[in-house]
Structure formats: structure tokens, C-alpha cells
Chain A
């Protein structure tokens, strides 16, 4: 995590040093020709984020670990400025994103169904989850030019997923507590340990929505004549799970940020 932030910081320093002597002007940093022109931006970025319930439910007691999975985005946007300050853009960002997390939970309701068999109840212990998603995000954004070199864009997006994985397992926490109370908190207490962890059923990915809707906010900074440094946030507004999926009682939203470089012309 740290080395990624350092890399990003270094990029900014590098970009800032190049432009330090040059004088800002709306024409110079504008679209390639003229203030109302359009063009394309090809983006390559690093994706970091998570798929999370918002707010975190009280069942989640402690996040022990978090690490990104995948994290690549390749995209192209077309843009058109209507005036000195206003424009629109639309594009396609292909991504591979995901994360792995380890959290302690208490009284976490689980409802597992496989081939007609159901196991359900309240789990207390450690829950490990990994998810990865391959897909494309199609944003449609309004662009506001804040200064000669800074653009901010915002608008809705639609994500289409080509492939999704969602796996995990449950076992005892560091204090050795790991159990399921079958059906209700007064039901049979079934112990679970890390020596013999209980995995999620492998049918979870089938219960994931193939599409997602959300809001994208993007910041572009014109580092050089044809190069942007950008950061954008895709905030999912739709639950990743099918509405009738009972295994996870809370809604989970994909929230992923991308930082990277773009070629602009």
C-alpha cells in the first residue's frame, strides 16, 4: 500500500517539476486546438478499493487485514468542451479489481444454500473474504474546467462484469472463538477452527449481479501537453448481490478508486 502511494507522489513531483517554469494559460492547456474542441483521453491506472457494506454493520467488530487484488484499469474517453469551462465525456474503462480482507465478526447472520440444502445461523469468529471482478465501466460525465490545468468530471456510470469471484472461509479468531449458532442464538453451537476452516459455498459468484450502477468523480491534471495525471472514484450505488440472495443480509457496494496517467489529444 505504502509503495503505491509513494509512486503516485513521485509522479506528481515529476509532473510538477516539468511545468514549473511554464506559464499557465487556458489556450495552452486547453483541448488540442481551441477552447471548445474535443478529443480523446487514453488512460492507464492502478485500481484500489473494496466491496463493502455502508455503513459497516455492527456485526463487523475488527478489520484485521486488507489487501488489494488485481488493480488494473485501461480506458478510453472521448470528450467535447462546449465552452471554456463546460463539456462532457463518455468512455469505456476495462478493469480487473478486487480485494482480500480478514475481519472479526460477532453474531454475523449466514444463510448458506447448496443443492437444496440449507445451513443457517449466527457466526462469531473470523471471516476471510476475497473477491475479484473483471469488467468494463461506461461513464457518462459532465466536465467542469476549474483552472487551465485542472478538470473535474462527474456523472453516472454503468459497469458490466465479465467475470466475478467471491470466496472466503470462516474459522476461530485470535482468541480461539469461532462458532455458528444454528438457526438462532439459542441453537446448537457448532465450533469452527482454523485447522479445519469452513469455506463459503462455491456458488456465491452465481448470486452476483452482472451489472452495477454508480457515480464517478474524476480529477484530471494536465501535467504535460499530452499527458494527464488523473484520479477517479467509482462509487457503486447498487448492491452486488441478487435481491433474493439470503446468505449475506446486508447490501454490499463496490467502491474503487483509480489513479494513473493518461494520454490526451
Chain B
């Protein structure tokens, strides 16, 4: 028996660790990016950047919006899909033909094309649609009564219809993120829910409630979820890593907003907690509601989309209206125990004027160079996971008045 035998036994577990099995085929089947190739995109689109869309994992209906008078024909369509996956175009009779990225597609007459992406391992597939639609000019003024809502595709939480000028014509909120942390929650346990017959006129309204996110929320150091409602995109994929940035707020708007009127009612939660879940003495929770008008392109022509982190502070903001709050001398939000927002547990209609800090350029406005963003929350510090669990903001009958 050789002395080396002992070394061999020590080495066995280490050797095992180095036996890496052959890599298996990819199981994912996403369209990650879509672009249209036009010689002169600005003749068709409002922005150069509108020809390229990064597709988030929850999105399957990809829509490009062109100018109302533009007449698009056959254009090369480039698709970036998961490595190893294959993509098929589905014709009207259901037959599938392999699609070569960069092939021309005739998008005239707002024709919708259907695609199926099949994973490398051939086990999984996803269906997508791609279309080019004409911009529908809006009249500017809006009236939103939050009466039109339904359960999402998973049946877990409610989704509200929004005016067609907003992305997917739906209001966005943190409900998809809450679903990840609290799988057991019923639709009415979510932070943003309808309140049937609870509006000021006896019709349905929206209830935003700051909710405990449970054990997974604690694990991720995101102990509460404020109820919210905004227009834009909620990129739930980033909700864990960059929650503020996951809230992409605003959509292009061709009218200059002057003021918002909205009915509000607030029930303040009893205990204000900070991000670590510690009780903060001498501070009460506050609701938030604001409207922001901002320039959506920078000097280099890049897209500017404000998010939960800079929606109230970005230098591209041209006009802003918000419920009154206390602020520190540096302009940051000041927590206090004597809020001045004025929202009580009785319904009241609030008028929030949009205060402009710079002139609006009429040509830029006409060409969708500004975006409008509505934001609301049951806890004004909810983006930082601070607030009082149980705070409830009821909203109804939002009216937007434009110039």
C-alpha cells in the first residue's frame, strides 16, 4: 500500500467538483430586441430612437407608432432572439416558415404579424406579434374615472385601462412586483385594487394601499409596497435590482397640460417604518400625487425616460404639479408629523396646477418631444420602501386640462 492512497481519498471530492457535465441546450425563447430599418426614419417616426425597441420579458405584443400621415411599406425587420433559438413567422392559415432576421416585411395597413420563437432545446416556445400603427392624435384633455379594469392574464391582480396614448393603453403599478414576493395574495390583497362603489359619486374608484411584502420582501430588504398608479412601463425584471429605475414613467404627449383635478381621500397608516423596518418616531406617512411634463430627448437625440428616482428632479422637467409637502433646503423630501398635503379621510376634489420652469417649444410639442407623467402613491417614500403599512389613498375622476 502506497502512502499516496490517502492523498487520493482526500482528492476524490475535489475531483468530483471538477467533473462538469456537458452544457445543455438553452431553454429560453425570447425576442430581445426589434428594429426597423428605414433610410429616413424621421419621416415616419417622431424620434430616431423609435425604430428600435428593447423587449422586456413580460412583453409579447410589439407595436411601433408612426406619424398619422406616414405610409410605411416593406421594410427590413431585424430581430435579436435568445442564443440558439429559432424564429418562425406564422401565416394566417397557421403555417410556420423560418424567418431570417433582416428580411423585408410589409407593414402597410397596420397589418399584425405573428411570430413563434422556439428554444434551442425545442421544448419551449413563445408567441409574439409585431405591428406598426399610426399615431392617433389626442384632444389633450382627459377624464379618467378608473371604472374600466380587469384581472391580468395570470388572474392574480387587477389592471386598469388607460387612454390609448399611454403604452399598451394600461395604467402601470407595482402589482407585478408584489406578485413575485407574495405568491399567496388574492387580487384584492394587492397594493393597487379597485374599490367597488367607494368613489365620491358612488361609482368604483381606485384604492392604493401600502402592503407588507412578507418574508421574501424582508429577504430582499423591500419590506413594503406602496400602492401606485402611473403611466409608462413597469419593468418588473429590474424590480429587485433597481426598483426605482424599474418604474419608467411618462409617455409622449402633444398637448401642454395646465392643471389636473382629482378626487382624493386618505387613511394614514399608524406606524411609519424605514427601509430596515424600524419604527421612525415623530413622522407620519403621506400620500403623493403629481403630474410631470418633460423633454423626452437629450441634445444627442437619445431617449430620455424618467423613472422613480428622478421623476421629480431631472433637469429635463419643464413643468411640474404635486400635492404640497415639506422640503429640506436642498430640495429633498422632508419627513414630518405635520403634513400639508391636505388630503383627509373625507373625499375632496384637489386642483393641482402645472408650474412651468421653461417655455414649451410648439414644434417639439407637436412632434412628441415632450412626455407627460402622472404619479400617485399611498406612501410618498414608497419608492425607498419607507412608509406606514395600511396607508390608503383612494383616487377617482382625474381630469386633465390642456392649453
Q: Name A's B-contacting residues (CB within 8 A).
A: 5, 8, 12, 48-50, 52, 54-63, 66, 101, 106-107, 112, 114-119, 122, 146-147, 150, 152, 179, 181-182, 184-193, 195-196, 198-199, 201, 217, 219, 221, 231-233, 255-257, 259
**By the criterion CB–CB under 8 Å, are A192 and B240 in contact?**
yes
Q: Is the CB of B1 within 8 A of A259?
A: no
Chain A residues with CB under 8 A of B238 = 191
The 3 closest A-B pairs by CB, nearest first: A231-B6, A189-B57, A114-B215
**For chain B residues 5-22, which have a beta carbon within 8 Å of chain A?**
5-7, 9-10, 12-14, 16-22
Contact between A117 and B29, CB atoms less than 8 A apart: no
Interface of A is mostly: strand
Q: Are A185 and B9 in contact (CB under 8 A)?
A: no
Check A184/B124 contact, CB under 8 A, given A190-B239, A191-B237: yes
Alpha-carbon distance A63/B20, docked complex (angstroms): 8
Structural contact, B9 and A217, CB atoms closer than 8 A: yes
A58: which of B24, B56, B237 is its contact (CB, 8 Å)? Answer: B24
Distance, CA A257 to CA B17, complexed state (A): 15
Is A56 within 8 A of B28, CB to CB? no
Instruction: Tell whether, in the assembled complex, residue B5 and residue A186 are in contact, meaning their CB atoms are under 8 Å apart.
Output: no
Minimum CB distance partner of A51 in chain B: B13
B277 to chain A, nearest CB (A): 15
Q: B176 and A188: CB pair below 8 A? A: yes
Residue of A whose beta carbon sits closest to that of B125: A186
Contacts of B19 in A (CB 8 A): 55-56
B26 → chain A, closest Cβ, in Å? 8
A117 touches B23 (CB 8 A): no
Whether B214 is near chain A, meaning CB under 8 Å from some CB there, is yes
Binding-face segment, B33-41, B181-189, B252-260 = B181-189
State in angstroms the CA–CA spacing of A44 and B22 once bound together: 40
B143 in the interface, Cβ–Cβ < 8 Å? no
CB–CB B17/A50 < 8 A: yes
In the assembled complex, the CB of B169 is this many whole angstroms from the nearest CB of chain A, namely 21
Residue among B1, B3, B21, B22 making CB contact with A152, cutoff 8 Å:
B1
18 additional A-B residue pairs with CB within 8 Å, beyond A58-B23, A196-B221: A48-B10, A48-B13, A50-B14, A58-B24, A107-B27, A114-B219, A117-B184, A150-B1, A182-B180, A189-B30, A190-B180, A190-B239, A192-B241, A217-B9, A219-B5, A231-B5, A255-B13, A257-B10
- Tell me which of A62, A117, A147, A256 contacts B20 (CB under 8 A): A62
Q: Does B203 contact A (CB under 8 A)?
A: no
Whether B237 lies near A193 (C-beta < 8 A) is: no
Kindly provide the distance from the CB of A137 to the nearest chain B CB, expressed in whole angstroms.
15
The yes or no answer to B226 lying at the interface (CB within 8 A) is no
**13 residue pairs from A and B, CB less than 8 Å apart:** A8-B6, A48-B10, A55-B16, A56-B17, A57-B21, A58-B21, A106-B23, A114-B214, A117-B215, A152-B1, A179-B237, A188-B58, A198-B219
**What residues of B have a CB within 8 angstroms of the CB of A187 in the complex?**
57
Contacts of B219 in A (CB 8 A): 114, 198-199, 201
Residues of A within 8 A of B240 (CB): 190-192, 196, 198
The reply to whether the CB of B216 lies closer than 8 angstroms to some CB of chain A is yes
Contact between B124 and A61, CB atoms less than 8 A apart: no
Q: Which of A112, A182, A190, A257 contacts B13 (CB 8 A)?
A: A257
